[in-house]
């Protein structure tokens, strides 16, 4: 790490040493003992401007306190039929790990419908996966590999992307804004696979609007991306939609153990059982039904411009 970067981390840490007590507990849940790596993430997100990174981190901690994010893993989505509906329409799962120990998350961008539950359920589910990743999966991986592992890899499946995807852009923008503001720099690389023509045309106009830091993380692979992904992970860690030679995927193409989107997949079973166990430990009262309401952020100006550009291109 450059001397300049180390100095910026020291300056930000000095500022954080004087943060009010009510924010310190949630800050510990954010950094999980990897303080320097966490401060570096927020600094990267603000181009190493210490004062801007400090404000961003304070805003994040206040958001966590105001919305009780530390308690998110004690609030299961029940009954299970509602959670299964969320899982069947918000396509995300952990397929395995890269050879460097980074968790590999698969996301079905094209086939996700987000039409089986309210926005609050989808936001709750997304934050729960983020929190489980940061507070359980990444610390476990760090312990296993004997070094800090604080980021993940995401494989985005574009199969099924079409004009009707416009209806999902608002919700996806909310989710991505939550990530940008409160979980910055958690993704090492985005691999895009099974990209149809409609994606290619959108990508040409959207790419110049992205920050250079973000552009460098995105790799558009040919077909299912299988051969390229096998360079960084074993076959067993490939998402199910990358295991065939050709392109194309299906929301229900594999059984529960293979399809990492499914509630029957080991990852989602472990996540759901963990949340239910935490709920029982936290309170002796019956678990309440209903979604958790989290304050939804306004997308930044550049994000709104990207959304508008995608909408225009899809209409074309």
Same domain, 52 and 100: no
CATH number of the domain where residue 178 is located: 3.40.525.10
Q: Is the pTM of this model over 0.85?
A: yes
DSSP annotation string for 221-254: -STT-HHHHTTTB-GGGS-GGGSSSSS---TTSS
If one compares 23 and 169, the residue with the highest pLDDT of the two is 23
Q: Is the pLDDT of residue 215 over 80?
A: yes
pLDDT, tens digit (0-9, with 9 covering 90-100), for 262-301: 999 999 999 999 999 999 887 766 677 778 889 887 766 5
Across the chain, what does the average pLDDT equal? Answer: 88
Residue 158 phi/psi, 5° resolution? Answer: -95, 5
Same domain, 54 and 196: no
Scored b (16 or more CB within 10 A) or e, 255-290 reads: eeeebbbbbebebbeebbebbbebbeeeeeeebeee
- Residue 200 sits in which domain range? 73-244+258-275
Which helix or strand (DSSP H or E) is residue 203 part of? helix 197-206
Q: Which residues pair with 193 in a beta bridge?
A: 157
pLDDT, tens digit (0-9, with 9 covering 90-100), for 146-185: 999 999 999 999 998 876 666 677 888 899 999 999 999 9
Same domain, 85 and 144: yes
Average pLDDT over residues 182-209: 88
Q: Check residue 314 and give its pLDDT.
A: 58
**Which residue is listed with tokens 């981390």?**
9
Distance in angstroms (rounded) separating the CA atoms of residues 275 and 75: 7
Q: Which residues pair with 92 in a beta bridge?
A: 107
Same domain, 111 and 221: yes
Which helix or strand (DSSP H or E) is residue 213 part of? helix 212-215
Same domain, 137 and 266: yes
User: Is there a domain that residue 156 lies in?
Assistant: yes
User: Is there a domain that residue 183 lies in?
Assistant: yes
Same domain, 133 and 266: yes
pLDDT, tens digit (0-9, with 9 covering 90-100), for 112-130: 999 999 999 999 999 999 9
């Amino acid at each position: 790490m450059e001397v300049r970067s180390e100095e910026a981390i020291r300056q930000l840490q000095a500022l954080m040493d004087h943060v009010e007590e009510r924010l310190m507990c949630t800050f510990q849940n954010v950094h999980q003992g990897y303080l320097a790596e966490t401060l570096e993430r927020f600094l990267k997100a603000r181009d190493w401007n210490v004062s801007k990174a400090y404000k961003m981190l304070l805003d994040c901690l206040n958001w966590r306190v105001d919305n009780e994010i530390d308690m998110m893993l004690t609030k299961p989505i029940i009954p299970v039929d509602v959670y299964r509906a969320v899982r069947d329409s918000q396509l995300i799962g952990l397929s395995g790990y890269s050879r460097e120990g980074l968790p590999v998350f698969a996301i079905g961008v094209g086939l996700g419908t987000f039409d089986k539950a309210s926005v609050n359920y989808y936001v709750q589910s997304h934050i729960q996966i983020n929190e489980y990743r940061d507070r359980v999966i990444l610390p476990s991986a760090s312990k296993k590999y004997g070094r800090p592992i604080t980021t993940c890899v995401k494989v985005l499946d574009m199969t099924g992307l079409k004009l009707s995807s416009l209806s999902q852009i608002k919700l996806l923008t909310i989710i991505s804004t939550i990530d940008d503001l409160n979980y910055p720099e958690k993704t090492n690389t985005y691999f895009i696979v099974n990209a149809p023509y409609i994606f290619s045309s959108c990508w040409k106009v959207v790419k110049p609007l992205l920050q250079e830091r973000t552009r460098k993380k995105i790799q558009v692979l040919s077909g299912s991306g299988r051969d390229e992904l096998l360079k960084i992970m074993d076959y067993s860690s490939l998402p199910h939609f990358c295991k065939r030679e050709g392109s194309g995927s299906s929301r229900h193409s594999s059984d529960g153990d293979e399809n990492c989107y499914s509630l029957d997949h080991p990852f989602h079973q472990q996540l759901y059982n963990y949340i239910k166990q935490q709920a029982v430990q936290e309170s002796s009262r019956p678990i309440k039904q209903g979604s958790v309401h989290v304050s939804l952020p306004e997308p930044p100006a550049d994000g709104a411009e990207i959304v508008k550009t995608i909408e225009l291109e899809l209409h074309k």
